[in-house]
Structures are given as C-alpha cells and as structure tokens.
Amino acid sequence: PPVQQPPKIHRLQESVVNRIAAGEVIQRPVSAVKELVENSLDAHSTSINVVVKDGGLKLIQVSDDGHGIRPEDLPILCERHTTSKLSTYEDLQSIKTMGFRGEALASMTHVAHVTVTTITEGQLHGYRVSYRDGAMENQPKACAAVKGTQIMVENLFYNMIARRKTLQNSSDDYSKIVDLLSRFAIHYTNVGFSCRKHGATRPDVHSVATSSRLDSIKSVYGVSVARNLISIEVSDDDPSSSIFKMDGFMSNSNYMAKKTTMVLFINDRLVDCSALKRALEIVYAATLPKASKPFLYISIVLPPEHVDVNVHPTKREVSLLNQEIIIEKIQSTVELKLRNSNEARMFEEQV
C-alpha cells in the first residue's frame, strides 16, 4: 500500500496563538469581571462599581478609585506579560497581589474591544485609550477623570463565533457575575462594591465600605441568612494555628437551603476547594435531620510559601500544603458548633 505522507508542520500565526490563549484565560464574561475586579483590588481601591449589559457580552464596565495607571505605561498596558506586580520568579513565593502574570488585560484585547480611562494622584486630567489585539488603537487622549481607573470591555468574543453562540443561549451569566461580586463584597469589608445591569437604577449587589462582616453578609445575602449564622475560628491557642488560621461564619440548624453556598478565601484569594466543600456538606447531612445545605464563609490564612497559586490559568484552584490536616480541623470545628446549635434547637422545641 502507498505510504501516506505526514502532514506538514508549520508555525501558527501569532494572532491565532494569542486568540486561542485568550479564550482560555477569559472563558466567560464572569472571568473577565473577576480579572478586572482583582486588578481594582490590587490597586488599593475602596470603591468598585460594575455595570453589565447583555450578560457581559455587550459591555462590562469596572470603575474603581485605586492608584491609577501611569500615562507612560499605557502603550504596553495590554501587551502580553506586562505587569507591575512581579519581577523575578522567586517573587511568586511571597506574592500578595492577586495578579502577577500580566495576561488578563492582554487576553481581553484579543477577544473584545477594551477602553481604559485612568488618572493618577496629583494629575489635572486623566487619559483615555482603546486597545485591540494587545496594542493601542490610537494615542491616549487627555480627558476629565475622577480618581482611579475605569475599564470598559465591549463586544466580548466578537471574533469567537462558537463561544458567542453558546453564551448567548445561556441566560445565567449575569447571575454568575452577581454571585462573584457578592463573594468579594463579604470578604473585602473595607471596600464598597456595587453591581448592576446597564440602565438599571437599583444595583443587585451593594455593600458599604467599613461595615462589619455580618452587616455586609446581611446587605448582600439578606437577613434570613445573616440571622442564622454562627461565627467560627481556629484561634491562636489552638495547636493547628501554627500551620493555618481560619475564621468565618457557618449556618446554624435553623437555616434552610437547597443548595450549598461556600465562600472560600485563602490568603485573600477567592478560590474553590471541592474537597473542603464535600467534607462540610457531609457534616451538615449527618447532623441535621432535614436535608438542608449549608451557608459557609471561610477565610484561611497560611504562610504564602504553603500555597501554590500558579496551578491554574484562572487561578481558581490552588494547592495547599497540609491540605488533609486543614480540612479535618475545619470539619471538626464545624461539626462541634453545629451539634451544639442543633441540640439547643431541639431543646427549645421541647419547651
């Protein structure tokens, strides 16, 4: 039989490489919102406001009152791998900022139209400039601006037909964005957050800076959640506190829900940990007679060198040293509190 010739290998065009990579970093509108809000937090903002049109496909606008961007940095702002946060690889070990790889803004310009308006402290006016495919579309224009930075992302996935189609048919992107902002709002209590649909007068998330944790949970998740919470912590006199510290709130035995809400921050990063979630769901299922799912807000602090933040491009999953010990300890703390709460409830029902 005739030998088949192997297909010829060629180098992909840079624009193709960039768009494919960008589609991995920015998977959905909510991924863009997360990156933008994290940038605003990294810029020490105390107020972050989000406006969304058409589930984020038409417009995502994030405005903050942070330190702004230097005018001379604007030409490279949206190039891949340009950042103010990391210099050497070793810096990753102790990185405090949420961003570090300089890829988010660049990615957005490869799959959307991005416009940045920014002003730094002491300047008389700000600058506005638009980007496409990593580069400025025009020279920055002087403009009036209030403190901070506003980033507009328009026509997301305009050049990824299949992605746009699948997202257009799903209506839940706005609720994913509201969910994300709710989580940030209850952790960063020194920052005021708002999130609303374009044209709406009422925001769907609204939190005030400097409120207590419980107050912000109340304003974001409602009184019915806030009044059924117990505070939890692993304290300093606990032997486990040498490897980690934890504090948070957990729902008591009166709380009723069909779905688990677990808001988890590790070293101030919003992350997922399905193993911890499962471990705590088991406690609730085993302790409470009715199959109610828990509400949990948990903040864990670890030595930075015990967390690998660089395992996933979206940084959503992290790896922890001593993960099993940490999960067991949190599980037993939650179990004890929940038992006490349940016994108190059963006692009240008897009298």
Does 99 bind Mg ion (CB under 5 A)? Our answer is: yes
Q: Are 173 and 55 in contact (CB under 8 A)?
A: yes
Full 3-state SS string of 194-215: EEEECCCCCCCEECCCCCCHHH
| Residue 102 interface partner, choices Mg ion, ligand ADP, none, CB cut-off 5-8 Å depending on type | ligand ADP
CB of 160 to ligand ADP, least distance (A): 19
CB of 205 to ligand ADP, least distance (A): 18
Binding segment toward ligand ADP, per CB under 6 A, in 12-20, 104-112, 269-277, 340-348 = 104-112
Does 26 bind Mg ion (CB under 5 A)? Our answer is: no
- Determine the 3-state secondary structure of 41 from DSSP: helix
Residue nearest to Mg ion (CB): 99
What's the rounded Cα separation, in Å, for the pair 306 and 93? 9
Does 39 bind Mg ion (CB under 5 A)? Our answer is: yes
Distances (CA, A) of 314 to 30, 33, 168, 322: 11, 12, 22, 23
Q: Work out whether strand 192-197 and strand 47-53 pair parallel, antiparallel, or are unpaired.
A: parallel
| H or E element, residue 254 | none
Does 43 bind ligand ADP (CB under 6 A)? Our answer is: yes
Does 84 bind ligand ADP (CB under 6 A)? Our answer is: yes
| Residue 333 interface partner, choices ligand ADP, Mg ion, none, CB cut-off 5-8 Å depending on type | none
Main-chain dihedrals φ then ψ at residue 334, nearest 5 degrees = -65, -40
Q: Which residues have CB under 8 Å from 95's CB, separation 6+? A: 85, 86, 304, 309
- Determine the 3-state secondary structure of 271 from DSSP: coil
List the one residue out of 25, 23, 22 whose CA is nearest residue 134: 22
CB of 293 to ligand ADP, least distance (A): 34
Does 104 bind Mg ion (CB under 5 A)? Our answer is: yes
Kindly write out the interface string for residues 188-227 of this chain, putting x where it contacts ligand ADP by CB under 6 A and - elsewhere. ----------------------------------------
Does 40 bind ligand ADP (CB under 6 A)? Our answer is: yes
Main-chain dihedrals φ then ψ at residue 230, nearest 5 degrees = -120, 140
Beta carbon nearer to ligand ADP, 107 or 299: 107
Please report, as ranges, the residues that interact with Mg ion according to CB under 5 A: 39, 99, 104
Q: Interface residues with ligand ADP (CB under 6 A)?
A: 35, 39-40, 43, 64, 66-69, 77, 83-85, 99-106, 149
